[in-house]
Amino acid sequence: MYVLPAIDIREGEAVRLVKGDFSQKTVVHSDPLAQAHIFKEAGIKTLHIVDLDGALEGTTTNAPLIEHIKKETGLMLEVGGGIRSMEQIKQYIDLGVDRVIIGSSALKNPELVKEAVGRYKEKIAVGIDAKDGKVAVSGWLEVSETDYLTMAKEMAGIGVQTLIYTDISKDGTLTGPSLSHYQALQQAVPDVAIIASGGVSDKQDLKELVEIGVYGAIVGKAYYEGRITLEEMQEVEALC
């Protein structure tokens, strides 16, 4: 299982939110590029980056900063946040981003996903963010009536190879990931790579996700609060 440290960018800083609430923002590093270098120097190979400004505005607000991170570190990057058009997807791919995450637009505009997968294949991932099992959109500000497993199956049918699932109730809470949700996803779409996001609090949580068989796990607040070290992340990766 891959372990992906997270850098969430808001107004030029690396921050952490609680349950997607922008009013509960904590700055974890004033310079996201410097934070990316810390990860690189520790031997981390892949980063999960979210443009929180983009998620609110529907624009690639932090694309120049993300480009700097890619060029200066050479790390594999997956990027999400406000991606709603082929132009935005192409922009990120042209900047060297390795995997572009389509979030809200996947539910609202599945044709965009079809076109993106047709053009860029494995470089496209879909983020499914859910509250009480229902898919949330628009920076988690709205909750739909669509069940997360239903959406996962629809995305798999389109040809999406990677899904990033977040249980909003767990995000930034350090209360442990929703293991039953990941087990259900593994069963519902067995041929899709599932990346777990939200709730990871320690190395044991990562080990439990390894046992479920997910492809990857994103670590944010647990790292920034010192509950998981970079060395422990690499130890978990070595188990697989």
**What's the CATH fold of domain 2-239?**
TIM Barrel (3.20.20)
Active site residues per annotation: 8, 129
46-51 vs 124-131, strand pairing mode = unpaired
CA distances from 28 to 9, 34, 40, 139, 160 (A): 10, 11, 17, 20, 32
Alpha-carbon radius of gyration of the chain:
16
Domain ranges of the chain: 2-239
Confidence at residue 19, expressed as pLDDT on a 0 to 100 scale: 67
Beta strands (DSSP E) in the chain are: 2-10, 13-18, 21-29, 46-51, 76-80, 99-102, 124-131, 134-137, 142-147, 162-167, 193-197, 216-219
Q: Tens-digit pLDDT profile for the chain (240 aa)?
A: 999 999 999 999 999 987 667 777 899 999 999 999 999 999 999 999 999 999 888 899 999 999 999 999 999 999 999 899 999 999 999 999 999 999 989 998 999 999 999 999 999 999 999 988 999 876 566 788 899 999 999 999 999 999 999 988 877 778 889 999 999 999 999 999 999 998 899 999 999 999 999 999 999 999 999 999 999 999 998 886
Confidence at residue 8, expressed as pLDDT on a 0 to 100 scale: 96
Confidence at residue 202, expressed as pLDDT on a 0 to 100 scale: 95
